[in-house]
Amino acid sequence: VLVITQPQIAAPGDIVPLNVTVDAPTQDAGYIYQWEQLAESAGGGPVRVEFSSQTAKSVSIRAPVTLGTYVFEATVTRRLATGAG
């Protein structure tokens, strides 16, 4: 599943929501979510930010004072009913 979200513009200190959507979710499977900020060298942003949670479907960050472009990635893993990933 590839999810591309539209860029958001935020003022320093704003709470910025980040969400992931699972295309055609399977009813009998759970999902594991993992958020990360890309490295600065990969365009992740000039400073690190803190997520409200790194393992939730929807998370938020507080926009940093340091202006720049910040890039985040969510990895979604489907967990089978037996617990295998």
Alpha carbons 1 and 21: distance in angstroms, whole number: 9
Q: Please give the structure tokens belonging to residue 4.
A: 């591309």
Q: What are phi and psi of 38, to 5 degrees?
A: -65, 155
**In the predicted model, is pLDDT for residue 21 greater than 60?**
yes
Mean pLDDT, all residues of the chain: 82
Alpha carbons 53 and 75: distance in angstroms, whole number: 14
Of residues 32 and 83, more confidently modeled: 32
Q: What is the pLDDT of residues 46-82, one digit of tens each?
A: 899 999 999 998 899 999 999 888 888 888 888 876 6
Q: What pLDDT does 25 receive?
A: 66
